[in-house]
Structure 1
Amino acid sequence: MYASGFAIGHHGEILQGVFRGEDSRLHRGLVTLPFPPRYSIAVAEPIDGIEVLVRPKHKTKSGAAARLLLGGIGYTGRGIKVTVNSNIPEGFGLGSSTTDVVATIRATARLFGLQLEASTIFRLAVRAEVASDGTMFTGNPRLICPREGTVLERFESRIPEFSLISVNVAPNHPVDTLAHPPTRYTGDEIREFGDLRKLLRRALENGSLGELGEMATRSAVINQRYLPQPHFDSLLELSQSTNAFGLQVAHSGRMVGMFLDPRLEKEDKSVEHIQRELLRLNLSSEFFRSGQTSV
């Protein structure tokens, strides 16, 4: 007897900052860019004994998530083993820990015949990780509070189709998210985040990749002041000098994405030009069509 759970990763954020909630308080929030090419699969099965074991052993947050779920339902039966497999490199802003945790929660819940709401999975993930992404939600994007386990806003429209050039700007220098204290933004930056939230809302309503790229770029520029990404200025200049719609950045990682027209193919001259220019910076890149990156 066993059960499996699947969860997708993300390609960093399109917006991250501090935002005012309906309670008039300020909250740290972000909107992730779902990225199905990166994912985790977890398999949960009962074992002899009373322990909750996770393999590989270093996936400690997954173990914490399984224990929280079992404790929440008052389970006192046999032990559980969860095996996690993932194609996500850790420490680069692709959502490796959240993806492992969400897959683990889904597998463990399924083992006991439980159907969990995405909001419940989110709260469990935050307790297990301290800070979680919002990729357990599907469909329309959400502005979520990664340390509170709450949703500030569910937008009314989906992210427009796009193509993406994906670049790891520091493959030898991963980021430990929890080792960095939460960013203390200035008052001017917080006001700009409010404007960017409105711009995101309008971009989604209009299906405008141009407005989406502008918003994501402005968010990336602000966060560059706090976690500088190597080659950022060169990537921004390249984006502005080509037919790209803007940049989005893993604000607690090393991934940078360049938004392009969704109709482009990998073999198009404009894509090849951008990738050649990236090679001049000693940066390798991957190209993804919007169909590969939508959920």
Structure 2
Amino acid sequence: MLDSSRPDVRARGTGHAPSHHGELLQGCFADRAGARRNGLVTLRLDEPRTRAEFRPDPALRPGEVRVVPEDRVNTALAAETAVRVCARLTGRAVVGGRVLLSGGVPVGLGMGSSTSDLIAAVRAVADAYRISLGPQEVAGIAVGVESASDPLMLDARPVLFAQREGTVIEVLGERLPPLVVLGCLTGGGAAVDTAALPVDDYSDEEVARFSLLRQEIRLAVRSGDPALLGRVCTGSALLNQRRLPKAELPDLLGAAEESGAVGVQVAHSGNVAGVLFRADRAGSRTRAAACARLLARAGVPVTGVFDAPGS
């Protein structure tokens, strides 16, 4: 029964969500019982981000949500799920409404655009219902709709995240080592059809290598070692060549070595990539500029330079 003493749903609610710059590490990791769990560590970005506004609309049937842009089908499904969840938690009515998305997260580059849209919309619905859904609730909605999710509903701490379960496997530490990232694009910046990627059929040898990389990224984060983190990212990028090969990876590695970078990182399901420089030493941006010139000569588009958030 609805609680008539509670105020109605707000005329509108707002929400937002960050994006990411691909993965620092992605693979398959054995837990203590020997079970294998797919997981990833993303390079989170505060900007670009997605912003959403949810407007209840009595012209729509209860529980129906329409999204602008109209092609964001999964975002609409997630918002409809959020309406039902929020109505149940608050005792308020199930309403229909519209979600308006805005922001600049590129689609198909491996920057978490679909997850960012979805989270922003869910948060906007919750705001209209005057509640806040926790990260685990949001992750559950995301995985339920898309079968996999990036950890953008969490705080900025680096985590190993089980993207198909929506759960944290391990909190690696409080913040990344200090990094300057030279962003670039592989594959000409073309969108990647993630549904067409090979299944995650990792070999025993790969799982063993991922186990070592997990130990190293944990040590890199907790000791604040950018050089060790760079080696982990490079190792993960090389392992990813079997799943989503980057023709430009040799150029990235060559430019990284020549310009004094600590490593490279790539989106494991997209075409964004980065060359990593340690920010705790003078001249990191000068080295990044030199690397940008090397990549330009190799025909690799450069998108800009930024400090790794939280590092």
Are 1:6 and 2:23 an aligned pair?
no
Cα pair distance change 1:44/1:245, threshold 3 Å: same
Q: Which residue of 2 aligns with 1:151?
A: 168
Indicate if the aligned counterparts of 1:36 and 1:294 stay in contact, CA closer than 8 A: no
Q: Which residue of 1 aligns with 2:6?
A: none
Are 1:141 and 2:158 an aligned pair?
yes
Q: Which residue of 1 aligns with 2:26?
A: 16
Task: Return the match for 1:118 from 135, 151, 166.
Answer: 135
For the residue of structure 1 that corresponds to 2:188, the secondary structure is coil
Q: Which residue of 1 aligns with 2:310?
A: 294
CA distance in 2, matches of 1:235, 1:224: 13
CA distance in 1, matches of 2:212, 2:50: 35
Q: Which residue of 2 aligns with 1:105?
A: 122
CA distance in 1, matches of 2:208, 2:283: 38
What are the within-5 Å matches in structure 2 for residues 12-91 of structure 1? Answer: 12-48=22-58, 49-50=60-61, 51-72=64-85, 73-74=87-88, 76-91=93-108
Query: Deviation string for 1:196-220 (max 9, x for gaps)?
Result: 0000110011100001000111011
Q: Which residue of 2 aligns with 1:197?
A: 214
Indicate if the aligned counterparts of 1:8 and 1:38 stay in contact, CA closer than 8 A: yes
CA RMSD of aligned residues (A): 2.0
Task: Return the match for 1:167 from 184, 197, 216.
Answer: 184
Between stretches 71-80 and 234-243, larger displacement belongs to 71-80
Indicate if the aligned counterparts of 1:175 and 1:252 stay in contact, CA closer than 8 A: yes
CA distance in 1, matches of 2:79, 2:128: 11
Query: Deviation string for 1:108-150 (max 9, x for gaps)?
Result: 1111012211121111111121111012111321111111112
Between stretches 214-223 and 232-241, larger displacement belongs to 232-241
For the residue of structure 2 that corresponds to 1:253, the secondary structure is coil
Between stretches 201-210 and 141-150, larger displacement belongs to 141-150
Larger radius of gyration: 2
CA distance in 1, matches of 2:177, 2:183: 17
What are the within-5 Å matches in structure 2 for residues 269-284 of structure 1? Answer: 269-284=286-301
Deviation at 1:225, TM superposition (A): 1.8
What are structure 1's unaligned runs of at least 5 residues? none
Aligned residues: 294
What are structure 2's unaligned runs of at least 5 residues? 1-10
**1:70 alignment partner AA:** V
Cα pair distance change 1:276/1:211, threshold 3 Å: same
**2:310 alignment partner AA:** S
Indicate if the aligned counterparts of 2:172 and 2:218 stay in contact, CA closer than 8 A: yes
